[in-house]
């Protein structure tokens, strides 16, 4: 009788263990899946390291209080050149500050600095067809609030409801749309807490690139000269001597932001040595469309998950997104609802081409 009882208990224990093991496997699988849902996108049945990011704006450009309004709509209408009347940042900003609404729209891409400049100056964007924006493009932009505010206020305006929506948008802008917030998001989503960062740019380093410049500004706001860029990007520093109006977008919102002491030029001299000795904890390629300086050297001393690639261009089918399948962290500004890898990536190995 005792033997039968022991056998029965043993079988029962085995079944319990099998059940618990099965539950554990289900739980770990669910956790694994959930860990990939946020900001990771499936391509050809693979989970790749493709993450959304967007334009942002330095906090110093965001007004602290919502100003009084003197007109319903701002003068500027995207695409109508005769309305582009402003020649400097102060007048341009004032045009939005004194307006209840600022018109904006999809142009070369959904993401645009104008959206953030409207919000930063205490004005509500009137955004044409925003409801059609892909879900993984402008993921931090307050799309829902803007769609709701446009529908309600343009049909039945009231100052109380306007102030309600403007308060929501102002708080959202300060919390999520600053250069510091966007750069911090990038580091958190790849689970990195680096002490030193290197941002590399290609041969077009003297020209402006909103995506690269804004992320670099945010990183330097956090890390100071422990974030080093190469080559030197002069127009983001306060001591820039040239005429900013000659830069893209007349240099508005992204130039002359940082103190000169946030860059140590001596690090240029030790650049290759520091890469070889893995002094930098993270390396960022400022835009994958401008080239990959020192790519072979970097890949000799850094794992793919220690490298970030920024795709800062407007809407396009980017061949470099395929780099994510090799373990690189690829951040993309304009992500369609369905990613289709181009024929370039299907035929060629982009890593082999770059090395």
Chain segment 279-332, per-residue pLDDT in tens: 999 999 998 887 789 999 999 999 999 999 999 998 887 777 778 888 899 999
Final residue of a domain: which of 124, 150, 177?
A: 177
Residues 267 and 338 in one domain: yes
Q: Lowest mean pLDDT of 30-34, 104-108, 111-115, 178-182, name the range.
A: 30-34
pLDDT at 351 over 70: no
Instruction: Decide if 201 contacts 286 (C-beta within 8 A).
Output: yes
What is the domain count for the chain? Answer: 2
Position 319 in a domain: yes
Residues 209 and 163 in one domain: no
pLDDT of residue 337: 82
From the list 125, 128, 75, the residue with the least C-alpha distance to 101 is 125
pLDDT at 101 over 60: yes
Q: Report cis status (omega within 30 of 0) of the bond before 47.
A: no
* Phi, psi (rounded to 5 degrees) for 128: -65, 130
d(C-alpha 166, C-alpha 160), whole Å = 10
Residues 171 and 266 in one domain: no
pLDDT at 344 over 60: no
Q: Report cis status (omega within 30 of 0) of the bond before 231.
A: yes
From the list 291, 304, 300, 290, the residue with the least C-alpha distance to 48 is 304
This prediction has a pTM of 0.84
pLDDT at 29 over 70: no
pLDDT of residue 143: 97
Residue numbers of the domain that contains 150: 63-177
Instruction: Decide if 309 contacts 49 (C-beta within 8 A).
Output: no
d(C-alpha 328, C-alpha 324), whole Å = 5
Residues 143 and 196 in one domain: no
Tokens coding 306 = 């220690």
pLDDT of residue 281: 97
Position 42 in a domain: no
Strand partners, 146: none
Residues 244 and 256 in one domain: yes
pLDDT of residue 336: 86
Final residue of a domain: which of 139, 156, 177?
A: 177
Instruction: Decide if 74 contacts 97 (C-beta within 8 A).
Output: no
With a pLDDT cut of 90, the percent of the chain lying above it is 69
Residues 253 and 134 in one domain: no
Summarize pLDDT for 168-183 with one digit per residue, the tens: 999 999 999 999 999 9
Residues 170 and 208 in one domain: no
Burial of 263 (0-12, 13-18, 19+ CB in 10 A): buried
Position 23 in a domain: no
d(C-alpha 96, C-alpha 130), whole Å = 20
Q: What is the mean pLDDT of the chain?
A: 86
Position 39 in a domain: no
With a pLDDT cut of 70, the percent of the chain lying above it is 81
Local structure of 298: helix, strand or coil: helix
Residues 172 and 204 in one domain: no
Strands of the 282-285 sheet, one edge to the other = 50-52, 329-332, 307-311, 282-285, 197-200, 227-230
pLDDT of residue 291: 78
d(C-alpha 208, C-alpha 210), whole Å = 6
Position 24 in a domain: no
SS3 per residue for 10-60: HHHHHHHHHHHHHHHHHHHHHHHHHHHHCCCEEECCEEECEEECCCCECHH
317 vs 112, residue with greater confidence: 112
Position 92 in a domain: yes
Position 102 in a domain: yes
Residue pointed to by tokens 């001597």: 241
Instruction: Decide if 211 contacts 236 (C-beta within 8 A).
Output: no
pLDDT of residue 44: 43
pLDDT of residue 26: 40
Position 16 in a domain: no
Q: What is the largest CA-CA distance in the chain?
A: 98
pLDDT of residue 50: 86
Final residue of a domain: which of 161, 177, 193?
A: 177
pLDDT at 350 over 60: no
Residues 152 and 274 in one domain: no
Residues 171 and 88 in one domain: yes
Residues 158 and 221 in one domain: no
Tokens coding 1 = 């009788």
The DSSP symbol for 178 reads B
Residue pointed to by tokens 């142009």: 107
From the list 80, 286, 95, the residue with the least C-alpha distance to 200 is 286
Residues 77 and 192 in one domain: no
pLDDT at 89 over 80: yes
Strand partners, 48: 41
């Amino acid at each position: 009788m005792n033997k039968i009882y022991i056998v029965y208990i043993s079988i029962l224990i085995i079944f319990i263990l099998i059940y618990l093991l099965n539950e554990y496997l289900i739980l770990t699988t669910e956790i694994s899946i959930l860990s990939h849902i946020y900001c990771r996108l499936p391509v050809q049945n693979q989970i790749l390291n493709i993450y959304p990011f967007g334009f942002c704006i330095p906090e110093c450009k965001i007004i602290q209080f919502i100003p009084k309004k003197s007109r319903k709509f701002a003068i500027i209408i995207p695409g109508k050149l005769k309305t582009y009347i402003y020649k400097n940042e102060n007048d341009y900003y004032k045009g939005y500050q004194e307006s209840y609404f600022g018109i904006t729209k999809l142009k070369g891409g959904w993401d645009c600095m104008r959206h953030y400049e409207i919000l930063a100056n205490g004005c509500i964007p009137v955004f044409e067809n925003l409801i059609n924006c892909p879900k993984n493009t402008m993921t931090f932009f307050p799309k829902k609030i803007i769609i709701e505010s446009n529908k309600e206020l343009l049909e039945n305006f009231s100052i109380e409801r306007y102030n309600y929506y403007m308060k929501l948008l102002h708080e959202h802008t300060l919390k999520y749309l600053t250069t510091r917030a966007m750069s911090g998001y990038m580091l958190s989503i790849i689970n990195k807490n680096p002490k030193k960062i290197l941002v590399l740019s290609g041969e077009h380093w003297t020209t402006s690139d909103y995506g690269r410049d804004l992320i670099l500004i945010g990183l330097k706001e956090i890390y100071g000269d422990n974030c080093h860029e190469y080559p030197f990007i002069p127009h983001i520093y306060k001591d820039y001597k040239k005429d900013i109006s000659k830069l893209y977008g007349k240099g508005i919102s992204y130039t002359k932001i940082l103190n000169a002491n946030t860059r140590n030029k001596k690090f240029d001299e030790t650049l290759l040595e520091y890469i070889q000795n893995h002094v930098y904890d993270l390396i960022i390629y400022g835009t994958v469309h401008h080239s990959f300086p020192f790519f072979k050297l970097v890949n000799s001393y850094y794992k793919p998950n220690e490298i970030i690639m920024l795709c800062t261009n407007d809407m396009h089918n980017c061949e470099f997104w395929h780099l994510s399948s090799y373990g690189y962290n690829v951040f993309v500004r304009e992500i369609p609802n369905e990613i289709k890898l181009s024929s370039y990536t299907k035929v060629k190995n982009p890593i082999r081409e770059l090395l």
